[in-house]
Amino acid sequence: MKAYVITIQKNEKSVEAAERCIASAAKFGLLVDKFSAYTPEDDPIRILEEKRVIHQGLNEKYSRTLNCAAAFLSHFTLWEKCLDEGPLIVFEHDAVVMDQIPAAILAGYGFKQMISLGKPSYGQFRNPRVLGAGPLVSKKYFPGAHAYAIKPAAAKTITDHAREVGARPTDVYLNVENFRFLEEFFPWPVEAHDYFTTIQKEEGCQAKHNYVRNREKYNIIES
């Protein structure tokens, strides 16, 4: 299964974090390639409109709209790639692989359609009672979009939904009310070691675990 880490190529911190992600995965024998993220400079709203994605839901109070749109577009493009290439693992640049991702997941048969691999990185959450692949229960939506595996069937459903119903910030968009097939793997093999954001405003960082722990050193990049 191919794996990609979303990387803002012109952002030194993003490249540095992505290389840390790649190195952490390599320790467990997983090869990860960089995927060039979209940025506000790319006019993501225009591209989403060209892809017929309803984007008004990306305009919300916790994030900068163009940055949020660029992040969603980066994931959306990888979902399209999944339709062409087959199952993928997607990492965001702040992801760090802490433990072996099970061989069954890497082979594409250890989950149904789409599974979160990442430990919740913000807000309150519940520990799943099921070990291994099971229903998404830590939150009602993906507990951060920093690590997940996806198959073409899920990619088709979630890209169609964005065109028919509308996009939201990526993790909130991936919720069990809309997509009942979502799963998570527990114990989570991947964590978000974030120390900066290009998406959230300060009020959007208040629930981030790493921001709360070390807010003086947490960088909110205005771009």
Is pLDDT at 184 greater than 60 in this prediction?
Answer: yes
SS3 at position 113: coil
Which residues, at least 6 apart from 111, have a Cβ–Cβ distance to it below 8 Å? Answer: 104, 105, 133, 149, 151, 183, 185
Question: Shortest CA distance to 190 belongs to which of 102, 115, 111, 118?
Answer: 118
Identify the pLDDT of residue 96.
Answer: 96
Average pLDDT, rounded, for the chain: 87
| E strand residue ranges, 41-193 | 88-92, 95-97, 114-116, 132-135, 147-150, 182-186, 190-192
At residue 167, what is the residue type?
A
The segment with the largest mean pLDDT, out of 8-17, 153-162, 214-223, is 153-162
Residue 32 and residue 25 in contact, taking contact as beta carbons nearer than 8 Å: yes
Strand (E) or helix (H) holding 220: strand 219-220
pLDDT band at 64 (very low <50, low <70, confident <90, very high): low
Identify the pLDDT of residue 169.
Answer: 87
SS3 at position 203: helix
Is pLDDT at 53 greater than 90 in this prediction?
Answer: yes
The segment with the largest mean pLDDT, out of 60-64, 67-71, 161-165, 171-175, is 161-165
| E strand residue ranges, 37-173 | 88-92, 95-97, 114-116, 132-135, 147-150
Identify the pLDDT of residue 223.
Answer: 53
Question: Shortest CA distance to 143 belongs to which of 125, 168, 166, 128?
Answer: 125
Euclidean distance between CA atoms 218 and 220, whole angstroms: 7
Q: How far is CA 15 from the centre of its chain?
A: 16
**How do residues 76-121 score in pLDDT, each as one tens digit?**
999 999 999 999 999 999 999 999 999 999 999 999 999 999 988 7
Identify the pLDDT of residue 68.
Answer: 85
pLDDT band at 210 (very low <50, low <70, confident <90, very high): very low
* Structural domains of the chain, with CATH: 2-220 (3.90.550)
Report, as an integer, the average pLDDT of 55-61.
81
Decide: pTM greater than 0.85.
yes
pLDDT band at 154 (very low <50, low <70, confident <90, very high): very high
**How do residues 14-42 score in pLDDT, each as one tens digit?**
999 999 999 999 999 999 999 999 999 99
Is pLDDT at 1 greater than 50 in this prediction?
Answer: yes
Which DSSP string do the residues of 156-168 spell out, in sequence order?
HHHHHHHHHT---
Structure tokens at 148: 């997940």
